[in-house]
Amino acid sequence: MSHKRVAILISGGGSNMVSLVDSMTGDHPARPCLVLSNDANAGGLTKAAERGIPTASVDHRPFKGDRAAFEAELLKPLEEAQPDIVCLAGFMRVLTGGFVSRFQGRMLNIHPSLLPKYKGLNTHARAIEAGDAEHGCSVHEVTAALDDGPILGQARVDIEPGDTSEALAARVLVWEHKLYPTVLRRYASGDRTPVLLP
């Protein structure tokens, strides 16, 4: 069987990347081909290398906000790896429509909210502030609009009285690590039916 090739883009610790990489064994239809970061010091790069995954980084800072120029460099190692699927996993740079369109229909993202609620940053604090009873995470196909695109899966987490954003983020992250591998496995086998957890 020929496996689907999965490139994973990260910016930090890469715990979601690890959950994806560690899921792609046995009869899984995909295998990791690259872990790519916009930060050479991202902790996730070491974790990927320890797992024998090729890694690369392109620092966004020298581009001083010129997103198209940054993305042109980012594309080089990414296209070289010839991914069938690109997973954004805690990748904290906003991508232009031009970049996204190259991977349209084969790029996924995990976002820490029950989309369409709380696109962007500080999602956990905003959910608490709003007095929501529940929060969670979503995996969606990436389109040109930020944190938009067809939802492929969601996991719900109750917000407890007195919750802090840190405590809530930690509980949501546990579900991110279940949701993303579940969605990727389905997606790699051509199944777009949304996953709902727990």
* Chain positions contacting ligand GAR, by CB under 6 A: 10, 12-16, 44, 89-90, 110-112, 173, 176
Q: Of 69 and 146, which CB lies nearer to ligand GAR in the complex structure? A: 146
**111 is annotated as an active-site residue:** yes
Q: How far is the CB of 1 from ligand GAR (least distance, A)?
A: 28
Please report the DSSP string for 66-109 in residue order: -HHHHHHHHHHHHHHT--SEEEESS--SPPPHHHHHHTTTSEEE
Q: Of 1 and 121, which CB lies nearer to ligand GAR in the complex structure? A: 121
Q: How far apart are the C-alpha atoms of 116 and 133, rounded to whole Å?
A: 16
- ω before 198 within 30° of 0 (cis)? yes
| 14 is an annotated ligand-binding site residue | yes
Q: How far is the CB of 29 from ligand GAR (least distance, A)?
A: 22
Cβ atoms of 85 and 4 within 8 Å: the answer is: yes
Identified catalytic residue from 60, 111, 135, 140: 111
Q: Which residue is nearest to ligand GAR (CB)?
A: 90
Active site residues: 111
Which parts are annotated binding residues for (6R)-10-formyltetrahydrofolate?
67, 109
